[in-house]
Amino acid sequence: MKMKKILLPFEGASFPQELLDFARDLNILSPVLVTAAFVPEVDYAQLWTGGGGVAMSVYVEPAEDEDVVVAEHGERLKKYCAANGIRLRIHSDRFDFALPAIRKEARFADLLVISAVHFFDVVNARQPNAYMEDILHGSECPMMLIPEKVGLPGEIILMYDGSDASVYAIKQFAYLFPKLASTRASLVHLRHRRNDPFPDRDLIEELVSQYFSDLRVVDLDIKTEAFFDTWVPAQDRPWLVCGSYGRSDMSRFFTGSFASDLIRERRLPLFVAHR
């Protein structure tokens, strides 16, 4: 059985337990190697700017006892992984392994997992979308943004708009989580106008049906806001899967305030993959 390598960043003195619980659940599905990095806390207002570099000025001044707290968290992490049979690797030099190195490490990982709770606790509440876009685009492997409490999905919502990005994300999710093949999956196409076609429907159904045995196809003629406000939360423990955003109307839901609120309120895990 192949092992997946997942990257868990721990910022400053924070210890997002939801990251470990998520890794535990993944390890039950299929063995994982957790790479944990204790890195300096970052001022997200200055993160991922310019040519992709991160200046030292973006780091938050550490508390006097932060090194002690981080050492304690490292021991806590080791005990948790040992108790749950999770293979673990820790980067101990926090200031050499900062955000640019996390980006590099992600290139050699299968999955980057970020805590939505901590992210939105420290992000400027007035302008969260730009930071979210930058961190998602900066990752060189698929990423999951997870809420405070997350378990295995009862429903996998596969967002599809006909773009190569949406197809790529679906394939990456299926490759990473083959053990979820029997979980109910919804292939969702959102029609923003009543007469919008369902692009390459036969082809995408043929592909996705090879990954998921319990598949339904949903062609919805509703506004994006209504979709996230009513339809998604009504599903059973949904995980949302989408491609990188940019050209299509569906994929630009990040630029609207509602989707940001959806993630901020920690209602569902979000899987994003882009080339």
Mean pLDDT of 242-260: 50
Selection from 142, 135, 104, 107 nearest residue 120 by Cα: 135
Selection from 150, 212, 144, 207 nearest residue 178 by Cα: 212
Q: Burial level of 125, CB count in 10 A (0-12/13-18/19+)?
A: exposed
In sequence order, the β-bridge partners of residue 38 are: 10
The structural architecture, per CATH, of the domain 155-273 is: 3-Layer(aba) Sandwich (3.40)
Average pLDDT, the chain: 76
Give the single-character DSSP code of 3: P
H-helix or E-strand spanning residue 109: none
Same fold for the domain at 4-146 and the one at 155-273?
Answer: yes
pLDDT band at 105 (very low <50, low <70, confident <90, very high): confident
Mean pLDDT of 135-144: 76
Q: Which two tokens stand for residue 160?
A: 């599809």
Tally Cβ neighbours within 10 Å of residue 19: 25
pLDDT, tens only, 77-93? 999 999 999 999 987 65
Q: What 3-state class would DSSP assign to 119?
A: helix
Distance CA 138, CA 132 (A): 10
pLDDT, tens only, 46-61? 444 444 444 444 445 5
Q: Which two tokens stand for residue 55?
A: 């200046």
Range 4-146 has CATH code 3.40.30.10: no
* pTM more than 0.85: no
Distance CA 6, CA 23 (A): 8
What are the structural domain ranges in the chain? 4-146, 155-273
Selection from 269, 184, 193 nearest residue 224 by Cα: 193
Distance CA 164, CA 220 (A): 20
Would you say 154 and 123 are in contact if contact means Cβ atoms under 8 Å apart? no
Q: What is the DSSP secondary-structure string of 174-221?
A: HHH-GGGTTSEEEEEEE-SSTT---TTHHHHHHHHTTT-SSEEEEEE-
pLDDT, tens only, 187-209? 998 777 777 889 999 999 999 99
Q: What 3-state class would DSSP assign to 157?
A: strand
pLDDT band at 167 (very low <50, low <70, confident <90, very high): very high
